[in-house]
Structures are given as structure tokens and as C-alpha cells.
Amino acid sequence: MLHILDARTGEPVPATPARRGLTRVEAHAGGLDLTALRVLLTADLLVRALELGGTPVWTMLTAPREQAELGTAANALSIRPFEDSRDVASGLGEAQVVHVRAATQEPPEAGVVVAVAPAVRKGVEEDVQRLLDDPAALRLALLSVPRDEPARLDDGALDEAARTVAEWRAGVARWGNRPSRPVPDEVRARLRAAWEDDLDLPGVLAVLRDVADSPDLPDGARFETFLYADRLLALDLAGELGNPL
């Protein structure tokens, strides 16, 4: 079961409601900047993890400004659409509400609060739109930093993320030519243990690195493992399938 740290109490709580029903995930963003995109990305990961566990979810976005621009940038980052909180009545039978917001924002009076540390483009003032030229690299760079730590992105971090995405996509394309094999039970358990522990995405990425480097795993198992993990990561790791190697 997915547990998430409630910033209001400092204690981990189940992200799945105790009674049967919807979980509402509401992302709170101040405007179009890297921290706001990190908030939306965290909400997206939470929704994906809940859905992988079989929990029904609906999502909302609360943003006082630049909501259309936020939606466009989120779409480029493979963040699934949010409903506008201004257009949706709350309290539609949800069993639990999870608010995802920047750590610097005041928490709401009710619901679980997921706090997200700031993200900045280290050393320069850069238009967010320019960082979206390689959205998968930006997404992976943000995933690589624990949510409670500031993400200070520089050229080195973005370049490394771009190389990793390219290597993993090439690997998936290559492994896809081999006979398929199931995701090993131990690997599946490690992946789920990581993302169910407060959305430990760096832990998930570490498992994938081990899978890619292990000399004992058949390529077909690597292929299925990376596709399975990509249901959460949304890095389009199958993007090179069918292309000449």
C-alpha cells in the first residue's frame, strides 16, 4: 500500500482511503515556474501510483494565474490533465483528499498535505519554456531528486538526464527484439516497495539501473521491467521501438 508523508503531521499515512471511494488529488500552483511544475509532476506521480494500486482517483488544479500556460507545460512533461478547481464542485463523494503544494505554501485546514521542495534552474534565470525543449530530460532530472530536497538543475544534471533517457530508450528497443520474459518477482517487489514508500522515485530509478546493468537477467525481462516502471515514470521508454538500431 502506498504511504505518503503528511506534511501537516510529519507522519506517513496511507494514500489509499480507509473506506472505499475516490481519492481526490489537488495540485496547488502559484504560476508558471519550475517549482509549480514540480508540484504538478508530484501530483501526477501520486495519481499514477494510486491507479497502479487499483485506487480510483480524480484530479484538480488550483492556480491563481497562468493556468493555461501551466497546462501546456504540464502536457509537454507528460503530466496528465487536471480539472480546473474553479469548474468542479468539491465533495463529490471522495473518501480522501490529498493536497500537493510547494513546501513554502500554507497548508489547507483539512486533508493530507504533500509538500514539495522548490526547483530552480541553477546559476541562470531561464524561461521555463526553453527547458521544455527536452521534456523527458527535464522530467527525469526532477524525478532524480528526492521530493523533500530542493532540485537545483544545472546543465550537467539536464545533460546527464538526456543521456540516460536516450540510453534507456535504445536499450528497450534492443531488448524488445529478444523473447519476452516476465518481470522478475524480486524486481517487481523492489519497484513497488520504492514507489509505495513516500513516492521514492530515486529508489525506483536505482532499481532500473540495477536491471540495466545486471549480467544475469535475460533481455526480455529487462524489456518488460522498463515498460512496467514506465507506467509510473512516463518517460516514453518505448519511444525507439521499431526504429533501426
Predicted local confidence at residue 90, as pLDDT: 54
CA–CA separation, 221 and 219 (whole Å): 5
Predicted local confidence at residue 92, as pLDDT: 59
Terminus-to-terminus CA distance in the chain, angstroms? 39
CA–CA separation, 35 and 40 (whole Å): 9
Q: Where are the domains of the chain?
A: 3-154, 160-233
Bridge partners of 59, per DSSP, are 25
Predicted local confidence at residue 244, as pLDDT: 64
Each as own residue / partner, the long-range contacts of residues 209-215 (CB below 8 Å, 24 or more positions apart, any chain) are: 211/187, 212/167, 212/168, 212/171
Bridge partners of 96, per DSSP, are 23
CA–CA separation, 7 and 103 (whole Å): 8
CA–CA separation, 48 and 232 (whole Å): 6
The SS3 assignment for 1 reads coil
Predicted local confidence at residue 197, as pLDDT: 97
Q: What does pLDDT average to in each consecutive run of 10 residues of the chain (245 residues)?
A: 93 83 90 94 97 92 90 94 72 79 86 94 67 94 97 93 98 95 97 97 98 96 98 97 73
Predicted local confidence at residue 93, as pLDDT: 66
CA–CA separation, 25 and 58 (whole Å): 6
Class of domain 160-233: mainly alpha
Predicted local confidence at residue 91, as pLDDT: 53
Q: CB 96: neighbour CB atoms within 10 A?
A: 21
